[in-house]
Structure 1
Amino acid sequence: MNTLCVTGATSGFGQAIAEKFLSEGWQVIATGRRADRLAALKSQWGDAVHTAVVDMRDETAIAGFVAALPEGFKRIAVLVNNAGLALGTSPAQRAELAQWKQMIDTNITGLVTLTHALLPSLIDSKALIVNISSIAATYPYTGGNVYGGTKAFVSQFSLGLRSDLHGTGVRVTSIEPGLAETEFTLVRNGGDQAASDTLYKDAAPIVGKDIADQVWWLSQLPPHLNINRLEVMPVSQSFAGFQIHRG
């Protein structure tokens, strides 16, 4: 049976990706920080799911999770590095350093730590690695500062992996979504539901199922094809002009 490993599976893209693959008959390794949500996933899908409570900032926890994978789940066909977060909307000069460090530790350090730990088995299974980046990796915006920087790393790291893994059969894709309605914005705004609702009002944003469908499509491509980068926006979102300060 094919196995998917997805981080950040307790909400948003990660949860939708896990449920999509489970509905297609795959077995899933699901990680996240919220034990209750992982338990609910396990309760619904039973033995098709292996769950692990993992904080991506904890290198020891990541190593323990990988070492403890059950025999039947060790051969991973698709790894989705989805866990990540954005904190704060302030410009750099008013941002909190602790939030910057938390984004770096989660979005960059955690992602590379897990990928490095799994690479031997991913090479052995000629797996697909999908890294969830963002259009913020390419297009800067006020308040994006470190978040955009972390996602630029994810996109470039994906390309670097492709180069290093040349000849192994491993495929690597960076998915770079635009405006998406998940708990992401709620977290970024410190739980302000009104701010989240205002952002998405009448915008028909990307939802979790949209990205889950993209990951599923990638997994079904012939093994001789690789999609390097997949940039996805809702039709309601496009490109703005450069800002100009006068005075």
Structure 2
Amino acid sequence: MKQVKFYNGQLMPQLGLGVFRVENDNTAKDAVKHAIISGYRSIDAALVYGNEEMVGKGIAEGIAAAGIQREDLFITSKLWLDDFGYNQVVQGYEQSITNLGLDYLDLYLMHWPGTNSTLMVETWQGMEALYQTKKVRNIGVSNFNIEHLETLKAQTAIKPVINQVEFHPYLTQATLRDYLMQEDIRMESWSPLMNGEILQDEVVNTIAQQLGKSAAQIIIRWNIEHGVVTIPKSVTPTRIEENLDVFNFELSEEQMTALDKLNQDKRIGPNPVAFNG
């Protein structure tokens, strides 16, 4: 599995399994277990998804079935807006690791910036304090714009290692991507397949036919070649396997450019500037 390196020297798999909108039942457990058996080493969870308990069971069963150790996995969860505030970060974190049945997280993210910049900064300071206790290996953010990151930069001591945002060929976020590169903050894409919408695109399918790959594999590979960490979601065993099978081919410069040109600045999720849960 290809990995990316954070500015603090820690490594993260570039491809993982997302579990957004997966039921908190055997669907989540079996998807996570199958992903780990298939070779995934990164699982992206969140408290607000409401499925951490069964994701945790899938992690435990996957570790046992694959014959690996907890340390071989990279597990992410996220602090929801309800737990924002310096003194509330720990309770949000403890709730997630209890749900997941773990004793630490590899990465903990602020799920959204919220609309109160003072509260955002105080919450990040709580994240910094949590990081200093070694209870979490890395801290980062999700859905932050440049302005949010600049505010943190001016008022806090530790910068995020990663920013998880909406990113796909219809929303390429080139300005944000350039900024993150300059700041040595990794970029990660959630919902890279646009809930399946991007898989219908004619350009994507033409490239898929040229290379003998699926449309999903083309989009995931496009993420990889942009240096972006990506976490496609699936609960179907064959698709979980297919989404991982993207390291044996490359996209040409022309194909990458064609995909980049699909940008419409189109979001399928909320705009981070106005979203407050």
TM normalised by structure 1 equals 0.37
TM-score (norm 2): 0.34
